[in-house]
């Protein structure tokens, strides 16, 4: 049994009521600390996951030649340059040359079958933007395994990542790992006659598409 000092210096055993009150206080302190920790943790974790449409991503024009090539494309994916601009609060605006891959979707039902990771059973897009727009799909050029830049290999009719050998069919479906998902589609739109895309970086290695950044 526990004991504690009484006035006069005597050690006295605690009564069962005192022990249970002390244990209750200890448990209450742990519970309150947990709530405070959770309250702090949620905004921190949340801040790591930018919201599409919440102002993080910006529309970037597609290179005009690339867009014209994509419109004329048949079965071959088209590599399209973009000039990605980013602005940090304390630095001048930065430009970084990037690119996206575009495909023409001739058979939307086949595309939906091939890319069942992107559509629900009712055919709805699983991403918060249209995956096929104006008959085209744009893909991030970044391999969803660990972030290398993959290339189109016409002879094999596959996108191939040189780093660890992941391959993707012409619709971006994963055909060989170690990547855990197919290629990541990006938002596409046409505004005032100019085709534009939004740059989104999704978390590597996992099957789900979790936004981690809107910068290169």
Residues that bind ligand FES (CB under 6 A): 143, 145-148, 161, 163-166, 178-179
Question: How many other CB atoms are found less than 10 A from the CB of residue 204?
Answer: 17
Shortest separation between residue 87's beta carbon and ligand FES, angstroms: 28
Nearer to ligand FES, 56 or 170 (CB): 170
Among all chains, which residue has been given the structure tokens 């979790």?
210
Please, which residue, 132 or 184, has the CB nearer to ligand FES?
184
Least separation in angstroms between residue 143's CB and ligand FES is 3
Q: Which of 135, 161, 165, 152 is nearest to 101 (CA)?
A: 152
- What minimum distance in Å lies between the beta carbon of 79 and ligand FES? 17
Pick the closer one to ligand FES by CB: 106 or 164. 164
CA–CA separation, 182 and 88 (whole Å) = 31
CA–centroid distance for 104 within its chain: 23
Shortest distance, position 186 Cβ to ligand FES, whole Å: 18
Residue whose token pair is 């479906």:
173
Considering the complex, state which of residue 145 and residue 181 has its C-beta at the smaller distance from ligand FES. 145
Q: Respond yes or no on whether the N-terminal peptide bond of residue 178 is cis (omega within 30° of 0).
A: yes
């Amino acid at each position: 049994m526990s004991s504690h000092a009484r006035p006069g210096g005597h050690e006295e055993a605690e009564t069962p009521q005192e022990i249970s009150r002390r244990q209750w206080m200890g448990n209450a302190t742990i519970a309150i600390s947990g709530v405070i920790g959770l309250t702090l943790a949620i905004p921190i974790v949340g801040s790591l996951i930018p919201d599409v449409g919440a102002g993080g991503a910006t529309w970037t024009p597609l290179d005009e030649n690339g867009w014209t090539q994509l419109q004329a494309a048949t079965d071959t994916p088209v590599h399209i340059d973009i000039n990605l601009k980013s602005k940090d609060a304390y630095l001048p605006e930065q430009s970084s040359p990037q690119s996206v891959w575009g495909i023409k979707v001739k058979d939307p039902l086949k595309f939906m079958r091939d890319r069942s990771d992107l559509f629900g059973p009712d055919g709805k897009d699983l991403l918060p933007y249209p995956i096929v727009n104006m008959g085209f799909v744009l893909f991030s050029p970044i391999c969803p395994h660990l972030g290398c830049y993959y290339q189109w290999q016409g002879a094999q009719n596959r996108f191939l990542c040189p780093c660890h050998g992941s391959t993707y069919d012409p619709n971006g479906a994963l055909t060989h790992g170690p990547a855990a998902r197919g290629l990541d589609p990006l938002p596409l739109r046409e505004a005032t006659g100019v085709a534009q895309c939004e740059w989104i970086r999704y978390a590597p290695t996992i099957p789900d598409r979790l936004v981690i950044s809107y910068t290169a």
